[in-house]
Amino acid sequence: MSTEQFIQGKAQGVIEDLYGVKPDISLVQIQKTRKEFEGDYTLVAFPLLKMSKKSPEITCREIGEALAKSCPEVKGFNVVKGFLNISLSLEYWANVLNTIIANKEFGFKQANSNDKPVVVEFSSPNTNKPLHLGHVRNNLLGFSISRILEKSGKRVYKVNLVNDRGIHICKSMIAWLKLGNGETPETTGKKGDHLVGDYYVRFDKEYKAEIGNLVAQGMAEDEAKAKAPILLQAQELLRKWEAKDPETIALWSKMNGWVYDGFEKTYSSLGISFDKTYYESQTYLLGKSVVNDGLNRGVFKQKDDSSVWIDLTADGLDEKLLLRADGTSVYITQDIGTAIERFNEFKFGEHIYVVGNEQEYHFQVLKLIMKKLGYDWSDALYHLSYGMVQLPEGKMKSREGTVVDADDLVSEMVNTAREMAEELGKLDDLESEEASQVYQTVGLGALKYFILKVDPKKNMTFNPKESIDFNGNTGPFIQYTHARIRSVLRKADNLAPAITIKPENINTSKELDLIQMINLFPETVGISAESHNPAIIANYAYELAKEYNQFYHDFQILKEANPGIRSFRLELSHQIAEVLKRSMWLLGIDVPDKM
């Protein structure tokens, strides 16, 4: 039971005793007391005035007096207009900390096997280019929210849908056929995803050159864009692929194999894993069959050119293409098929798509189509929309080759961590191999934290140097705080921490603040899960680390003369380290014991 629930229950009882009516628990509104006022938690009187039939101030005073009289955990109260600020006793907070100490999985819930699972789809890369900075945000969000949901008590399945077919894939393939001279990852020494991505860029350059030549010959630009030979060749390759032409399939399999090997190395370096990977090439046919069934049932309409559409204008949207005139499918076709396949497989209670905000309309349409097709679970489809991530110098473009490659970014972050640590002398005491591992942990922690501390809905600018600062709201700051606590605890090895916390050993307001902060951890996990927002966890961890560092600088721990207070402060430090470690784990971030 949380502190808010505890106070809510006690207040509900005294309100019934005072006014003869048991209020609905939703009317007993409890919140953390604002910092400028004295108290721990605040009860809002206004929803209760119909029962008390008295002014807000008198209602607060009556409830406060009744609580103080009947509830030994309440040591005092004050009234500010219609708000009752309640102060809890040291005995209460000592018991809270003792409960936290006894719970080895504090803040984490076990999943109920009877609950419907949650499916989280993220990453969803295209096999025509390597993962870049935008993909990094997607992967980190998807992986983190999966862990947060899991530890809030959900059964979670992390899935990846690889977009391994379509015109964009054929663009890389035709460019390699025309310009590649048989190059392979082995002959070039490049990761396979990088090699294929190079040919996607080369396609765009060749395409633009051909458009320029056609325009120079007198063709209108729009016509030239449609009739450029390399584009026509890519479109023909797609038709051959869908017709299962053996030669085309063999080339597609070979080049995709190069990319998969590259992706696995990138996922490994980021610490990302999946429970299952789907491939669009294996799911799009189910989508086509569902569309044809919907066509027969009158849900969809076929135009004169044989293309299939749905008219959503009556729902405030517009017409949406489902099958092209040549019978080939579009993205939403395979999403329809995949959603059905996933529901049949998992019987999910929620299906989360982690996809950028430029696809918000796409998922509005998908949800509405599933509803019109008669799938009553369509409301379980949820688009976790996130904003664009760019660098200080501006936007990235894959086809022009102006992206920040994920592999290069990870390498740069680790090198930057090394440079800054050496400059500050942070790891001078560590052996070289141990230091190298810490550089890796800190570099990745900086990258992940900087991205995840921003609300997913917001656009963001990623600044590598700023992200790795050992001060301020950064991953390395929290990692260093955790390492600092572990160092204190190692030095206190012969000073056994207290098994039971006694109220008389809590003697500063800062200590009370820290107990109250770690007590908020389970609630924070729940709010983060419900809002699908890892930034809530990230900023909670920062505030806790910041408060602990102030405590560390202001008060003695190892040199505290009173053994009871010293033991309490060591145990408090230990619990804060545990909560920081769990918070960062939820973000996919490791915390070193030494820095």
Statement: residue 85 has pLDDT above 70? yes
CATH number at residue 213: 3.40.50.620
Range with top average pLDDT, 427-441, 487-501, 524-538:
524-538
Task: State the total domains in the chain.
Answer: 3
Statement: residue 453 has pLDDT above 50? yes
- Are residues 489 and 377 part of one domain? no
User: Beta strand pairing status for 118-121 and 350-356?
Assistant: parallel
Final residue belonging to a domain, choices 69, 88, 107: 88
Q: CA separation (Å) from 59 to 68, 82, 93, 522?
A: 14, 8, 27, 31
Nearest to 438 by CA among 427, 425, 446, 449: 427
Q: How much is the average pLDDT of 287-311?
A: 93
- Is the residue at 564 inside a domain? yes
Determine the pLDDT at residue 371: 96
- Are residues 347 and 438 part of one domain? no
- Is the residue at 345 inside a domain? yes
585 or 440: which leads in pLDDT: 585
User: Beta strand pairing status for 41-44 and 30-32?
Assistant: antiparallel
Q: How much is the average pLDDT of 525-538?
A: 97
Token digits of residue 81? 């207009």
- Measured between alpha carbons, how far is 348 from 342 in angstroms, rounded to an integer? 8
User: Beta strand pairing status for 83-88 and 118-121?
Assistant: unpaired
- Is the residue at 104 inside a domain? no
Structure confidence at residue 498 as a pLDDT band (50, 70, 90): low
- Is the residue at 213 inside a domain? yes
Q: Which domain holds residue 158?
A: 122-390
Residue 277: DSSP 8-state: E
- Are residues 560 and 440 part of one domain? yes
- Are residues 372 and 446 part of one domain? no
Determine the pLDDT at residue 403: 66
Determine the pLDDT at residue 400: 47
- Are residues 311 and 189 part of one domain? yes
pLDDT digits (tens, 9 = 90+) for 186-240: 999 999 999 999 999 999 999 999 999 999 999 999 999 999 999 999 999 999 9
Residue whose structure tokens are 């490994």: 268
Residue whose structure tokens are 């505290």: 560
- Are residues 373 and 495 part of one domain? no
Token digits of residue 222? 């729009």
- Are residues 306 and 261 part of one domain? yes
Structure confidence at residue 399 as a pLDDT band (50, 70, 90): very low
Determine the pLDDT at residue 212: 96
Question: Strand pairing partners for 390?
Answer: 461
Residue 304: DSSP 8-state: T
Statement: residue 301 has pLDDT above 80? yes
Q: How much is the average pLDDT of 56-81?
A: 95
CATH number at residue 81: 3.30.1360.70
Final residue belonging to a domain, choices 327, 359, 390: 390
- Are residues 254 and 328 part of one domain? yes
Statement: residue 86 has pLDDT above 80? yes
CATH number at residue 503: 1.10.730.10
Task: Give the burial string for 385-397 (b: 16+ CB within 10 Å, else e).
Answer: bbbbbbbeeeebe
Residue whose structure tokens are 């107990």: 515
Statement: residue 46 has pLDDT above 90? yes
User: Beta strand pairing status for 350-356 and 381-386?
Assistant: parallel
- Are residues 507 and 428 part of one domain? yes
Determine the pLDDT at residue 494: 63
Token digits of residue 73? 């955990």
Determine the pLDDT at residue 401: 47
- Is the residue at 373 inside a domain? yes
- Is the residue at 551 inside a domain? yes
pLDDT digits (tens, 9 = 90+) for 459-481: 998 887 788 888 889 999 999 99
- Is the residue at 532 inside a domain? yes
Structure confidence at residue 382 as a pLDDT band (50, 70, 90): very high
Question: Strand pairing partners for 278?
Answer: 161
- Are residues 478 and 559 part of one domain? yes
- Measured between alpha carbons, how far is 475 from 442 in angstroms, rounded to an integer? 7
Determine the pLDDT at residue 495: 59
Q: How much is the average pLDDT of 337-354?
A: 95
- Are residues 363 and 477 part of one domain? no
Determine the pLDDT at residue 486: 94
Residues in the chain: 595
3-state per-residue secondary structure call for 434-467: HHHHHHHHHHHHHHHHHHHCCCCCCCEECCHHHH
Residue whose structure tokens are 């000592």: 94
Query: What mean pLDDT is reported for the chain?
Result: 92
**Ramachandran region, residue 498 (left: φ > 0; alpha: ψ -120 to 50; beta: rest):** beta
pLDDT digits (tens, 9 = 90+) for 122-161: 999 999 999 988 899 999 999 999 999 999 999 999 999 9
Q: How much is the average pLDDT of 265-269?
A: 95
Residue whose structure tokens are 């207040």: 11
Determine the pLDDT at residue 326: 82
Q: Residue 358 CB: number of other CB atoms within 10 A?
A: 10
Which percentage of the chain shows pLDDT scores above 90? Answer: 79
Q: Please, which contacts does 498-504 make with residues 24 or more away whose CB atoms are closer than 8 Å?
A: 498/564, 498/567, 498/568, 498/570, 498/571, 500/98, 501/94, 501/97, 501/98, 501/101, 501/568, 501/571, 502/94, 502/564, 502/568, 503/89, 503/90, 503/91, 503/93, 503/94, 504/90, 504/564
- Is the residue at 529 inside a domain? yes
Final residue belonging to a domain, choices 64, 88, 112: 88
Nearest to 136 by CA among 260, 276, 266: 266
Backbone angles phi, psi at 309, to 5 degrees: -135, 165
Terminal CA-to-CA distance of the chain, rounded, Å? 36
- Are residues 419 and 382 part of one domain? no
